[in-house]
């Protein structure tokens, strides 16, 4: 299993300092890894981090792990990378868990995407840096009752991202649109939404799930856009329940 972080995240958010998902999967017998996408954390920058470059990087990780097929767990931008990989290389994907994400970036109007990117990058253009941007954005992503520990983990993660990486990643996902590919997904798929998520609202994700044959949809109460970090126990319950019913037993993927 490969766990893919969002645009404001890093691999550490899946670890002990974040949601603890790596440990939860390991305890259940699953072999899981959480790579940093290109330009993030300890990952080298592979030119401009386009979605294609991210897909190639994830496939390279799978090859290094000796995995011909993987279950992809993607949060936000990571969910877009997971969908892109599934569309380009369906024979390499065994299952999908799409968390607080969407099948397209906003409207189909190219002008809308350009305005959104410009508005999101304006604070960086003004010189506030990634730490300042994190202080602006992270509170908007969390549910009102989010724990202070979750808030701090999200702030630390986003503040650590190199500014050029964030800029390039935002530009890359602005053109993402895999709505027409939803009906072609032929693997067990779980979609997880946060009750208070305004970035990938539950109703949007529910409609998205309806277009994937046999897909399951779960809404996590009391969670915002950073659902795995905000409600880790509920997220792990939903994830492990889905895996136990819809994918081969963890014995096949044990370390």
Q: Which tens digit of pLDDT belongs to each residue from 70-103?
A: 999 999 999 999 999 999 999 999 999 999 999 9
Residue 107: per-residue pLDDT: 63
Please give the average per-residue pLDDT across 117-122, as a whole number: 90
Give the mean pLDDT of the chain.
93
CA distances from residue 223 to 152, 192, 229 in whole angstroms, order as listed: 16, 11, 9
pTM of the model: 0.94
Residue 110 has pLDDT above 70, yes or no: no
Residue 221 has pLDDT above 80, yes or no: yes
pLDDT at 196: 98
What pLDDT is attached to residue 250? 57
Residue-level pLDDT at 33 = 97
Q: Which pLDDT belongs to residue 190? A: 98
Q: How confident is the model at residue 214 (pLDDT cuts 50, 70, 90)?
A: very high
Could you read off the pLDDT of 120-144 as tens digits, one per residue?
899 999 999 999 999 999 999 999 9
- The answer, yes or no, to whether residue 11 has pLDDT greater than 80, is yes
**Is the model's pLDDT at 29 over the cut of 50?**
yes
Q: Give dist(CA 138, CA 254) in Å, integer.
A: 35
Q: Is the pLDDT of residue 252 over 60?
A: no
E strands, 60-116, are 70-75, 93-99
Domains plus CATH for the chain?
2-253 (3.40.50.1820)
Residue-wise pLDDT for 35-54, tens only, equals 999 999 988 887 777 899 99
- Whether the CB-CB separation of 95 and 117 falls below 8 Å is answered with no
Q: What percent of the chain shows pLDDT beyond 70?
A: 95
């Amino acid at each position: 299993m490969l766990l893919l972080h969002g645009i404001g995240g890093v691999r550490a958010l899946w670890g002990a300092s974040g949601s603890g998902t790596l440990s939860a999967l390991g305890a259940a017998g699953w072999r899981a890894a959480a790579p940093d996408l290109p330009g993030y954390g300890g990952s080298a920058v592979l030119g401009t981090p386009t979605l294609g470059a991210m897909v190639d990087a994830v496939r390279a990780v799978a090859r290094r792990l000796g995995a011909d097929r993987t279950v992809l767990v993607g949060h936000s931008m990571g969910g877009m990378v997971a969908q892109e990989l599934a569309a380009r290389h369906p024979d390499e994907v065994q299952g999908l868990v799409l968390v607080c994400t969407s099948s397209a970036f906003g409207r189909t109007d190219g002008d809308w995407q350009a305005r959104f990117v410009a508005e999101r990058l304006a604070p960086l253009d003004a010189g506030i840096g990634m730490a300042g941007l994190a202080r602006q954005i992270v509170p908007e992503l969390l549910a009102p009752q989010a724990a202070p520990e979750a808030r701090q983990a999200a702030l630390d993660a986003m503040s650590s991202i190199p500014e050029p990486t964030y800029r390039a990643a935002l530009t890359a996902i602005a053109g993402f649109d895999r709505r027409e590919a939803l009906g072609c997904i032929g693997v067990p798929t779980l979609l997880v939404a946060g009750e208070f998520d305004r970035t990938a609202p539950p109703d949007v994700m529910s409609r998205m799930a309806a277009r994937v044959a046999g897909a399951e949809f779960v809404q996590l109460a009391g969670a915002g856009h950073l659902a795995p970090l905000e409600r880790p126990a509920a997220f792990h319950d939903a994830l492990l329940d889905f895996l136990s019913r819809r994918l081969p037993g963890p014995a096949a993927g044990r370390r």
